[in-house]
Structure 1
């Protein structure tokens, strides 16, 4: 039974009600559980973004009625944060860690009132003693270092000002009379090609017999006292689990029979994770089952930062978009929350690796406090046990920017190294998840934690620090666990829905631009820098005079920077082995950091990632006087046979250089060629020697498979993108085949950053370049919905289309 219905909520001044009887003086309104006070206020119309209730300054009461007879267990999977639980007039639980689950044995005789008081965070933290060695500005107030709660809602310029308060994870009522599974821990390891699954089950009541099964393999579970049963399955010659970019993500389903009743325990996968440090010992390259994996993806954020709930359809859609974009790693960052089992199961099934932070960010945590350490140990153990069978979890990371924060504030290394990250968390991780790799902090590993040429980096050279695109190579990045953060503009339809016809003039626009506290420029200013750099315009003047063009160039610039940087890092000779963008999905309606907007719809970075992350890929790199180099990558387990086509275009559509080369790339292989290898002679493709005026404005490399299908393209603009803006005329043909509706696009000259706007559909490509003479097919996520919209390119008017 889950007492999730008929909950109600009241909000009062801090310490205004000490008991459930005192709370009767306040008005209660319906509330959803699991959920948060913010969610309940939004549901009831009691929340205003103009004047949000400071929930950290209020007490919040939840209550419901439960009924039953005899012995039961109340299970609270998550209470945010300083919670007192009352059964009728008796206090039965006190909790102070949002990330810890609790069980309470109770005896019922009819109906009872279950009440939960969430004490104001400000009141609970008053009087906490201990001087911090450093004080970060990102998370407020600084006393939160004593609290085990999420930073969500407490980071100005980062997230909606709505801190999570309430029973944010399910509340369950379980009878002691009939056995139910309270916990199922599945641990896996490989043994000479076989897969071993160690099983530990805990029941609510005594069990006479229990067996576990996977396919034809069965084992008897043995009682271990306290309604616990243990056993192990040996699965012969198991198929390894790979990230989807590199192979099959095979899962094995484990079930149990308990006193004659069948139950599904979960699914497991088998893989080996290793870290290759390189010949200099400074690298960080993930190897899965002995295969080098370039990890690419983004930092995950809660799907709904206000309720902290994952709608099943929204979760499936969002993970599906990640897989479609070629994402093979998501980082669950320390400024959020530990995710639900459903999230990790979705990543397991999709073949997406998870970099999992423990929820510690920026602060100097009180590790001398024995109570704090005990709570943290419980938190870590509970999380690792409930996700123990998940093959997607590859990296366990002590926390986010703790070491960086201290080092940037001039604190000596001896004072920022912490037993929390150096001893407690790695010890528990090694005990419960020896199959995952532990990273002490993100970032870490360099001479200073924030140096990018060793270990894992938060690389914002290209980005917040406004370095030229070439800095992505100069900085010698080894693994970017954060990178490429920009204020990413949503698509036009979403922008209109959220901000009206003139979004830049909306009173919501500026306050919701993401920013770092104390920085001189927000992330719109960062994006504007690259708009000016790439397109030789004055972004501020353009914003005032031509706002629509400004927004289009903003979308295009971010996509171009992402593709260029990821292409640089994926070169075979690159030092970089991973790039996780900051971040995956916006937290509210805004020009936020996300590749998806707050509703889950793609923005221009999503399409850029989809192109840049392809497992079979072609990349161009400008090597200066050494020419333009062509790199072809094949991450699949099968050989690739096809050809490279290299073209140089002058003016509107004149091909001045043209070469093809048949190629074969072995499994997990790559090849690199110089432009002269294809031309057969010298030609200044990169316009490095400058013997006279430039001969061409664009070079296009195309990777074509043996069936003549274009797999990937790469573009190079030797004298800059503005020189190749030619006001193209694009033709659009709407057709329907056995795969559904699609568009066939052609252009009479180079078309840069072609955009497709359709109010009802999402295209599988957008903000792409189109070469003259080529025909491009664009399909939709909704193949049976008739398309109706416009196609345009930079510098060209929109062309309308409609299915007939």
Structure 2
């Protein structure tokens, strides 16, 4: 099976013809009928979906209730006999045979297997590879010791004995598509060509170092005249010859780079990468080169001073913001590299600099981490353990988990993006919430075993034992890390974002985020599926056993922000109910991050629960399952930008304006503040020059910017409120507006309760090349929650407030190629009629 610390290189996918068949549990022999052709090694759900025989929109199919058989027929390449079959992931209880001979058995879907196949087992043509994935139902029915605590996340507590993902097995938030079968690739190479490498990337005292250890098959060295490891960056090269001396078939090289260009998260600098390769000269004088990945030199440490949690990258404190990453395909758990990079670009373009792979999910494919390296996105990587009382006192289970960790560390540790290795998702928190004794909160496996393995195999990556860890109890907000739902599921007022003293949220701000009408049209029943409908509710996230769901959480904030009864509004005007829900989520997210990013905050970062939904519906994601933005994404795109401005209400101290510059360059700009009444009257305005050094933030009292005191937040109640909106802008004299924020001192309720007939809003559009359009907006009065309805088109910004006299250009892109021309409308929550807009080719 190979050594856990080495990763295979230069493996090719097995070229085979694949079939799949279901059978009753416990079937000892493959079925004689019922086989279906499939498009390669896929999960059962993905294979049936590709054939049009199953989808998430039909009644659920329990994939764990049956045995699933996978059959591959393949021929050997000419002249190749003995070889190595690679299985990068088999879910979950798998037995493999080749040409009728047993090859391997696996009980851990997260393990990789490299199996030598002797010549006598193989035929030149018509080899038969058979994989049986047994039903989990008999395993779950076995009598085993009860857990010391329970988790409401799963329907069956005995899942704790099985090394498999919780995706598809957690009713309430993941689609019913449990992954069964080969969920990762199956590869083949000849035994004579089987190379494996271990790569370590380090930065010590300003010097970069890449250590490569090579494991080669017998006889490889006799075919090689010379071999070297080469690094390349910005037109420069560094080389080091391979040396032997580590035993038969072992070679190594260390390449050093003085004062290398450093890797930074994109919000704070450039993510410089050095391409690494193995160059081999054969005896005939020909050269071959094999990719060893890209090395990024950076130093990441966790600063826990004062009970906090903050990452320092290359010595600089970094405010980490982003979201939990979910598989792009909940049924197959695979993704096309280009589609994966597109999704990651959406995260980067929203100002996010960190993604978390939670222990409820699955380890991602290599191209995910490659793209994060390239785009400057940090990765918080949980090991795939979540909430449950795992049986680490079972020796076989513990050894499988340790092997899993060693394999994943060998694969992931060279990546510059890897910022935190975390033992689990909420195990400590669940134990504490269930009332388990304190000594049970912190199993030795997470606090000793995994910590030791990470220190040995990934010395440049900090380790943290659990996603919620620190303080008197694991889920306390003002110590260490936590799952923060004060604002959100626990329905605390928005100012709890500050009052909680949050230090770092590994997940937060969960709402049932309403997507665009185009997404709602893909629900079973289409746009006629209202929020109370069973088809809607089936996809609304909830905790098992709870008497509420996250639609209720969103409705709570609609009532708080707009002073309306959401249930009555839903009865009377469902579309307005959804519009207020979208804006409420956007406003709460914006306000929370304004608090956490202001210079006086002790918060080191906050990650939303999900970036993207797992299926169409009002899920936790700020992108839908196909990547279309929701209101929260648009709000975050403004709130998370590296250069940003925020306005916060400081009570009797008035309004404060916070200017943030996270970039590596000096910011020389002007801070402008304008106070407006809703009818378009400017009450006051002022400006001050602002010079912010690289990665510097400052706070300015509004009175300082205006040059006078005004009761802008109506704290002193000296008569009627002075203004309805305060607009703060950072303006660069050369490049124009850098950042803008609109604060509504009195909130939105009064402004939106009785919408005006007209705000004197104007909107025009023109078509551009390659499926793009430009929308031009202006208004003479204050417009709240501006949003669009252009079927077949997606805007790069909406759900914003537009102050009087403002002009805005919005780019739209065509997302439905069947759409010809652009026709739709622009709306605001405080205007009763939408503004029609048309543009035709």
With the shorter chain as reference, the TM-score category is over 0.9
Assess if the C-alpha contact under 8 Å between 1:184 and 1:386 holds in 2. Answer: no
Q: Structure 2 residue aligned with 1:534, among 548, 561, 565?
A: 561
Q: CA deviation at 1:744?
A: 1.7
TM-score by length of 2: 0.92
User: Which residue of 1 is the match for residue 839 of structure 2?
Assistant: 803
* Range that drifts further, 196-205 or 148-157: 196-205
Q: Does 1:219 align with 2:240?
A: yes
User: Which residue of 2 is the match for residue 109 of structure 1?
Assistant: 123
User: Which residue of 2 is the match for residue 780 of structure 1?
Assistant: 812
Q: CA deviation at 1:93?
A: 0.6
Q: Structure 2 residue aligned with 1:292, among 317, 325, 345?
A: 317
Q: Residue 606 of structure 2: SS of its match in structure 1?
A: strand
Q: Residue 331 of structure 2: SS of its match in structure 1?
A: coil
Q: Does 1:196 align with 2:223?
A: no
Per the alignment, do residues 663 and 171 of structure 1 end up closer, same or farther by CA in structure 2, a change over 3 Å counting? same
Assess if the C-alpha contact under 8 Å between 2:140 and 2:156 holds in 1. Answer: no
Per the alignment, do residues 537 and 205 of structure 1 end up closer, same or farther by CA in structure 2, a change over 3 Å counting? farther
CA–CA separation in structure 2 for the residues paired with 1:232 and 1:32: 42
User: Which residue of 2 is the match for residue 152 of structure 1?
Assistant: 167
CA–CA separation in structure 2 for the residues paired with 1:352 and 1:560: 25
Q: Residue 48 of structure 2: SS of its match in structure 1?
A: helix
Gaps of 5+ in 2: 1-11
- Residue by residue over 1:585-609, the C-alpha shift from the partner in whole angstroms, topping out at 9 and shown as x without a partner, is 1001111000110111111111111
Assess if the C-alpha contact under 8 Å between 1:128 and 1:143 holds in 2. Answer: no
CA–CA separation in structure 1 for the residues paired with 2:301 and 2:115: 41
User: Which residue of 2 is the match for residue 525 of structure 1?
Assistant: 552
Assess if the C-alpha contact under 8 Å between 2:517 and 2:527 holds in 1. Answer: no
User: Which residue of 2 is the match for residue 501 of structure 1?
Assistant: 527
- Residue by residue over 1:629-688, the C-alpha shift from the partner in whole angstroms, topping out at 9 and shown as x without a partner, is 111011111111111111221241111111111211111111111122123332111111
* Range that drifts further, 641-650 or 701-710: 701-710
Aligned ranges 1:46-65 → 2 under 5 Å: 46-47=53-54, 49-65=57-73
Q: Structure 2 residue aligned with 1:207, among 211, 214, 220?
A: 220
Q: Structure 2 residue aligned with 1:120, among 131, 135, 142?
A: 135
Assess if the C-alpha contact under 8 Å between 1:35 and 1:308 holds in 2. Answer: no
Q: CA deviation at 1:4?
A: 5.0
User: Which residue of 2 is the match for residue 254 of structure 1?
Assistant: 276
Q: CA deviation at 1:446?
A: 1.7
User: Which residue of 1 is the match for residue 8 of structure 2?
Assistant: none
Assess if the C-alpha contact under 8 Å between 1:4 and 1:34 holds in 2. Answer: no
User: Which residue of 2 is the match for residue 335 of structure 1?
Assistant: 360
Aligned ranges 1:246-395 → 2 under 5 Å: 246-258=268-280, 259=282, 260-278=287-305, 280=306, 282-395=307-420
User: Which residue of 2 is the match for residue 790 of structure 1?
Assistant: 825
CA–CA separation in structure 1 for the residues paired with 2:166 and 2:735: 51
Per the alignment, do residues 469 and 29 of structure 1 end up closer, same or farther by CA in structure 2, a change over 3 Å counting? same
CA–CA separation in structure 2 for the residues paired with 1:238 and 1:780: 40
CA–CA separation in structure 1 for the residues paired with 2:496 and 2:183: 43
Q: CA deviation at 1:203?
A: 3.8
User: Which residue of 2 is the match for residue 766 of structure 1?
Assistant: 798
- Residue by residue over 1:765-790, the C-alpha shift from the partner in whole angstroms, topping out at 9 and shown as x without a partner, is 11111111111121235699964432
Q: Structure 2 residue aligned with 1:29, among 28, 36, 58?
A: 36
Q: CA deviation at 1:713?
A: 1.8
User: Which residue of 1 is the match for residue 199 of structure 2?
Assistant: 186
Aligned length: 796
- The Cα RMSD (Å) is 1.9
Q: CA deviation at 1:511?
A: 1.1
User: Which residue of 2 is the match for residue 706 of structure 1?
Assistant: 733
Q: Residue 804 of structure 2: SS of its match in structure 1?
A: coil
Q: Structure 2 residue aligned with 1:43, among 26, 43, 50?
A: 50
CA–CA separation in structure 1 for the residues paired with 2:788 and 2:734: 28
- Residue by residue over 1:80-109, the C-alpha shift from the partner in whole angstroms, topping out at 9 and shown as x without a partner, is 010000112221111000000112211213
Assess if the C-alpha contact under 8 Å between 2:23 and 2:31 holds in 1. Answer: no
Assess if the C-alpha contact under 8 Å between 2:96 and 2:130 holds in 1. Answer: yes
Per the alignment, do residues 9 and 371 of structure 1 end up closer, same or farther by CA in structure 2, a change over 3 Å counting? same
User: Which residue of 1 is the match for residue 5 of structure 2?
Assistant: none
* Range that drifts further, 535-544 or 353-362: 535-544
Assess if the C-alpha contact under 8 Å between 1:717 and 1:724 holds in 2. Answer: no
Aligned ranges 1:220-239 → 2 under 5 Å: 220-223=241-244, 224-225=246-247, 227-239=249-261
- Residue by residue over 1:718-740, the C-alpha shift from the partner in whole angstroms, topping out at 9 and shown as x without a partner, is 22212234532321132478996
User: Which residue of 1 is the match for residue 18 of structure 2?
Assistant: 7
CA–CA separation in structure 1 for the residues paired with 2:732 and 2:684: 21
- Residue by residue over 1:157-215, the C-alpha shift from the partner in whole angstroms, topping out at 9 and shown as x without a partner, is 010111110000111121113x243x333211113322100112334563223211113
CA–CA separation in structure 1 for the residues paired with 2:713 and 2:113: 63
CA–CA separation in structure 1 for the residues paired with 2:351 and 2:622: 13
Q: Does 1:566 align with 2:572?
A: no
Q: Does 1:734 align with 2:765?
A: yes
Q: CA deviation at 1:477?
A: 0.1
- Residue by residue over 1:320-370, the C-alpha shift from the partner in whole angstroms, topping out at 9 and shown as x without a partner, is 111110110000111010001100001000000000000000111111111
Q: Structure 1 residue aligned with 2:498, among 463, 467, 473?
A: 473
Q: Does 1:141 align with 2:156?
A: yes
Q: Residue 715 of structure 1: SS of its match in structure 2?
A: strand
Q: Residue 217 of structure 1: SS of its match in structure 2?
A: strand
Aligned ranges 1:278-677 → 2 under 5 Å: 278=305, 280=306, 282-498=307-523, 499-504=525-530, 507-677=534-704
CA–CA separation in structure 1 for the residues paired with 2:219 and 2:590: 58
CA–CA separation in structure 2 for the residues paired with 1:7 and 1:286: 46
Q: Structure 2 residue aligned with 1:744, among 750, 754, 776?
A: 776
- Residue by residue over 1:256-284, the C-alpha shift from the partner in whole angstroms, topping out at 9 and shown as x without a partner, is 12333112211110000012223x2x000
Assess if the C-alpha contact under 8 Å between 2:514 and 2:619 holds in 1. Answer: yes
